[in-house]
Structure 1
Amino acid sequence: MQYKQLGKRGPVVSTIGFGAWAIGGMNWGKTDDEISLRALNEAIDQGVTLIDTADVYGFGHSEELIAQIIKERGKDNIIIATKAGNDFYFASEEDDEGYGPIRQNYKKEYLIFAAEQSLKRLGVDALDILQLHSPDLDKLEQDEPWEALEQLKKDGKILHAGLSIQSFKETEQAHLLDLHHDLIDSIQVRYNLLEREAEKVLFPKALQYGIGVIVRIPLLFGFLTGKFDRNTRFTEDDHRKMNLSPEKLEDYLNKLDKVRPLFEKFPDQSMAQVSLRFCISHPACQTAIPGAKTPQQVRENCSASDLGPIPRDLIPEI
């Protein structure tokens, strides 16, 4: 496992992290907590130090599973990046679980409340990284979300402040780094072999200001593992039914043909390994956080860090 500092102010992290959305038990089909815990343990055994989650993943369940790992193995060498801003706390009369429809909430008071709830679930004194969870641009043009991050830092409840850039808004939201580069320690961005918008404006700004970059969706919801084709269909409880519709799959398969020569340069490596190596090859990117539900998936993901970045002259231009 290789390690890099996350920007000029962030912690040192493994170049391959663990994306903990799927283990929350919602939106990714059926999960098993025991297998999820084994996957988390395998990640740590493989040298992973960065675990990325969010309060809304499984309505807190992802954070609760991570808390079990922290309790068993200690917090040393584990960096937890969580998120807030998707408000699931307000009860709905139709919901027996006591949670209503998720809504964006970037009010200062709410973000501080949400951070405190994550602290309790994780069982830690401070959040290593708290990221605003992919808010709309109009929310980010208000003062309150930034005031909340400043207050949480001042109070010692978070060590680093982050922003998860909304998917496909990499150019539109890049100016936020100009405005808040003194506060933002890291950004999280959608980036993979087939979606490279961030290279145009966002990554140069991150390099300019020394802001760390966490790459999410590096395997494009599993598409870049090579296991999906035009006949792939997802269950109703899997968010990919919408995000990887038959029309989207067709579009991605056509795009994949254009980058297939890159995979052919590494015949002894899986598509997943090459795809992850690509994500950590850009000089702005320090780490990628593929999701994993099994120890086997974790081992394959982590091996990409051992293989290291792909030489830039082998990567096709945009």
Structure 2
Amino acid sequence: MRSRAFGRTGRNVGEIGFGAWAIGAAWGKVDDAESVAALHAALDAGLDFIDTADVYGDGHSERLIARVLKERGGERPFVATKAGRRLPQQTVEGYSADNLEAWIDRSLRNLEVEVLDLVQLHCPPTDAYYHPEVFERMERLVERGKLRHYGVSVERVEEGLKAIEYPGVASVQIIYNMFRHRPAGLFFRQARQRNVAVIVRVPLASGLLSGKFSADTRFEADDHRQFNRHGEAFDVGETFAGVPYEVGLAAVEKLRPLVPESATLAQLALRWILMDEAVTVVIPGARNPQQARANIAAASLDALPPETMDAVARIYEQDIKPYVHQRW
């Protein structure tokens, strides 16, 4: 797998990583044995970047990662986690020095390490990006050796643009996929100019871009694709990338003819993301070894031809853009 420079950290990472939300919670039933096997399969295939958060399964995702890495030994992958969503209500005041340190200390215990590779503020309120003291607190934690780097996970392009004005922000995690094009404009250009790593999440639009769903698909009650359809629990953009389900299904049918021979729609969607050099790493989830290996195989697809890129752009403009473009 090809590697890309992780911003100005001095680290390189493979361009496809492992998104560990689904092995924690909120995606229906979780099978720990399958989750562990998926992580092992991904690492066996050369993956070296894992993204998690302290709230995924209330720390369960972090602890599973620690278990797998302890079993394997040897060189550790780059493990990114997040902090901030443990607040009962999202306020700027909640990102206090005491709270940040407490969350980070908990992640240190969960991941069984003495220093965290990367801690991302986990989709804090927009106003937080206009409070330099929040970022100064992260700087102090770097100085004290609790984390090597810090970044942000954002909902909106505006937040990403504001975050990269802070010189200590090493990375921005953002939603970008065939149903969410806006980050590829001004934000990607600015991130490249400032040498900030870009982590792409929700690359398959919560599975819509796998092409495996239909109007008859039913999701479990504890799956966010069921309980967050309209943003009831968190930002609706995290579920199906904010695209109405039926609209997404119709657009998927237009994308199917673009899939290269011997590839899948999901692999096409991942390769499409990697066509932009501003992307550092994309983090699809995997709940079993087969999914993990299939995700990584997308990196070996040939570059997509201009006609495929143009076709994706047309489908976005005609079918998807009115629902999402100006919202995020």
TM-score, structure 2 length as denominator?
0.85
The answer to whether the 8 Å contact 1:18/1:291 transfers is yes
Query: Following the alignment from structure 1 to structure 2, what is the Cα–Cα distance between the partners of residues 112 and 313?
Result: 49
Cα 1:130–1:16 shift into 2, 3 Å = same
Kindly indicate whether residue 19 of structure 2 is the aligned counterpart of residue 19 of structure 1.
yes
Query: Following the alignment from structure 1 to structure 2, what is the Cα–Cα distance between the partners of residues 164 and 312?
Result: 31
How do residues 70-85 of structure 1 correspond to structure 2 at under 5 angstroms? 70-74=69-73, 76-85=75-84
Cα 1:185–1:308 shift into 2, 3 Å = farther
* CA shift for structure 1 position 234: 1.3
After the TM superposition, which of the residue ranges 294-303 and 227-236 deviates more from structure 2? 227-236
Query: Which residue in the other structure is 2:296 paired with?
Result: 302
Query: Which residue in the other structure is 1:289 paired with?
Result: 283
* CA shift for structure 1 position 72: 1.3
Cα 1:10–1:223 shift into 2, 3 Å = farther
The answer to whether the 8 Å contact 1:27/1:237 transfers is yes
Q: For residue 250 of structure 2, what is the amino acid of its counterpart? A: N
Kindly indicate whether residue 106 of structure 2 is the aligned counterpart of residue 117 of structure 1.
yes
* CA shift for structure 1 position 194: 1.1
Kindly indicate whether residue 2 of structure 2 is the aligned counterpart of residue 6 of structure 1.
no
Query: Which residue in the other structure is 1:277 paired with?
Result: 271
Aligned residue for 1:116, secondary structure, equals helix
* CA shift for structure 1 position 140: 2.1
Kindly indicate whether residue 200 of structure 2 is the aligned counterpart of residue 201 of structure 1.
no
Cα 1:79–1:268 shift into 2, 3 Å = same
How do residues 234-249 of structure 1 correspond to structure 2 at under 5 angstroms? 234-241=219-226, 242-243=228-229, 248-249=244-245
Instruction: Tell me which stretches of 4 or more aligned residues in structure 1 moved more than 2 Å.
Output: 101-105, 242-247, 253-263, 306-314
Q: For residue 136 of structure 1, what is the amino acid of its counterpart? A: P
Aligned residue for 2:223, secondary structure, equals coil
Aligned residue for 2:198, secondary structure, equals strand
The answer to whether the 8 Å contact 1:13/1:287 transfers is yes
Query: Following the alignment from structure 2 to structure 1, what is the Cα–Cα distance between the partners of residues 302 and 12?
Result: 16
Correspondent of 2:162 among 176, 193, 206: 176
Query: Following the alignment from structure 2 to structure 1, what is the Cα–Cα distance between the partners of residues 294 and 306?
Result: 22
Cα 1:75–1:195 shift into 2, 3 Å = farther
1:290-317, Cα deviation, whole Å (9 max, x unpaired): 0111001101101012225435564124
Q: How many residues align?
A: 299
Q: For residue 17 of structure 2, what is the amino acid of its counterpart? A: G
Cα 1:278–1:7 shift into 2, 3 Å = same
Query: Which residue in the other structure is 1:93 paired with?
Result: none
Aligned residue for 1:140, secondary structure, equals helix
How do residues 51-66 of structure 1 correspond to structure 2 at under 5 angstroms? 51-66=50-65
1:190-210, Cα deviation, whole Å (9 max, x unpaired): 011111111122111101101
Cα 1:276–1:141 shift into 2, 3 Å = same
1:70-99, Cα deviation, whole Å (9 max, x unpaired): 2111261411000001116xxxxxxxxxxx
Q: For residue 67 of structure 1, what is the amino acid of its counterpart? A: A
Where structure 1 has 5 or more consecutive residues not aligned to the other structure, the ranges are: 89-100
Correspondent of 1:230 among 215, 233, 247: 215
Query: Which residue in the other structure is 1:185 paired with?
Result: 170
RMSD between superposed Cα atoms in Å = 2.1
Where structure 2 has 5 or more consecutive residues not aligned to the other structure, the ranges are: 230-238, 318-328
How many percent identity over aligned positions?
40
Aligned residue for 2:23, secondary structure, equals helix
1:24-62, Cα deviation, whole Å (9 max, x unpaired): 1x2110011111111111110011100100000000110
Query: Following the alignment from structure 1 to structure 2, what is the Cα–Cα distance between the partners of residues 17 and 308?
Result: 19
Kindly indicate whether residue 147 of structure 2 is the aligned counterpart of residue 161 of structure 1.
no
TM-score, structure 1 length as denominator?
0.88
Q: For residue 21 of structure 2, what is the amino acid of its counterpart? A: W
Query: Following the alignment from structure 2 to structure 1, what is the Cα–Cα distance between the partners of residues 2 and 266?
Result: 17
* CA shift for structure 1 position 15: 0.9
Q: Which has the higher helix share?
A: 2
